[in-house]
């Protein structure tokens, strides 16, 4: 096996299951691509810019032995694809939760959990402001949660209960994929820029870095989906 395709292979394996199951009659995820793909684009652009900056600042780097060598600015093409493949898989899981567990509409507790989490992340991010990865991942995730509630009129279709249930499921494959990427290692982290608290080989910041990405994708996906439908689930 050519090790230079390792990152590509990890992404392909991650996408294979959700893509094949997208044509399941109950979920019919393929019929929702018209909302999904536009929802993925803006977060991907923001994350790619974030990634370019952090790679330049040596917050993380990429092992040349396990990437193809094709780069956009300073990012491997695989890393750029990550911000399209992972959101696809995550929103697919979210949509499965919505379809198979349609009664999860009581979201008061879920709202409280997200709001408390935002306070914790904001305070922690400010305390560790000098660590690039910790402060940015925690503070930006906190601020986006604040935005969800502060601009309720725009994000009225976001359902915190569906999100939290989905993200608790998403964390299993998300950590598995990141586990491969950091254990091989394909991605190398500079621990001076994070808390150096690891889940196996994964910085704990990855949980909230991923949470922000999924939150953005789901919030925009629901916004686009419900623009064409009079039914919506209010966040409050």
Helices 160-183 & 6-21 angle (0-180, nearest 10): 150
Residue 128 belongs to some domain of the structure = yes
Structural domain for 214, as ranges: 3-227
**For residue 14, what pLDDT is reported?**
95
Nearest alpha-carbon partner for 199 in 187, 207, 209 = 207
For the chain, the residue count is: 236
Write out the chain's pLDDT in tens, 236 residues: 579 999 999 999 999 999 999 998 889 999 999 999 999 999 999 999 999 999 999 999 999 999 999 999 999 999 999 999 999 999 999 999 999 887 766 688 999 999 999 999 999 999 999 999 999 999 999 999 999 999 988 998 899 999 999 999 999 999 999 999 999 999 999 999 999 999 999 999 999 999 999 999 999 999 999 887 655 444 43
pTM for the model stands at 0.92
β-pairing, 187-189 vs 60-62, is antiparallel
On whether the CB atoms of residues 186 and 6 are closer than 8 A, the answer is yes
Residue 194 CA to residue 184 CA, distance in Å, equals: 20
Cα–Cα distance, 92 to 78 (Å, whole number): 20
Report phi then psi at 81, rounded to 5.
-65, -30
Q: At what angle are helices 160-183 and 205-227 packed, to 10 degrees? A: 140
How many domains does the chain contain in total? 1
Which residues touch 144 (CB under 8 Å, ≥6 apart)? 212, 215, 216
Strand partners, 202: 199
Instruction: Examine residue 63 and state whether it is found in any structural domain, yes or no.
Output: yes
Contact between 87 and 11 under an 8 Å Cβ cutoff? The reply is no
> Residue 52, Cβ neighbours under 10 Å: how many?
16
- What is the model's pLDDT at position 232? 44
């Amino acid at each position: 096996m050519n090790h230079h395709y390792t990152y590509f292979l990890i992404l392909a394996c991650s996408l294979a299951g959700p893509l094949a199951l997208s044509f399941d009659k109950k979920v019919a995820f393929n019929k929702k691509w018209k909302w999904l793909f536009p929802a993925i684009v803006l977060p991907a652009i923001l994350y790619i810019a974030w990634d370019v900056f952090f790679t330049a600042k040596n917050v993380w780097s990429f092992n040349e032995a396990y990437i193809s060598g094709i780069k956009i600015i300073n990012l491997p093409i695989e890393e750029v694809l990550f911000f399209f493949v992972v959101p696809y898989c995550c929103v697919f899981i979210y949509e499965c939760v919505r379809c198979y567990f349609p009664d999860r509409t009581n979201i008061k507790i879920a709202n409280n959990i997200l709001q408390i989490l935002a306070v914790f992340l904001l305070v922690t991010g400010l305390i560790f402001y000098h660590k690039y990865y910790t402060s940015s991942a925690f503070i930006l995730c906190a601020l986006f949660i604040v935005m969800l509630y502060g601009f309720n009129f725009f994000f009225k279709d976001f359902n915190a209960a569906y999100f939290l249930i989905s993200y608790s499921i998403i964390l299993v494959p998300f950590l598995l994929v990141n586990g491969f990427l950091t254990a091989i290692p394909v991605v190398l982290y500079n621990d001076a820029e994070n808390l150096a608290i690891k889940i196996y080989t994964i910085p704990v910041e990855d949980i909230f870095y991923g949470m922000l990405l999924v939150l953005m994708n789901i919030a925009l996906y629901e916004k686009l989906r419900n623009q064409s439908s009079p039914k919506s689930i209010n966040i409050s």
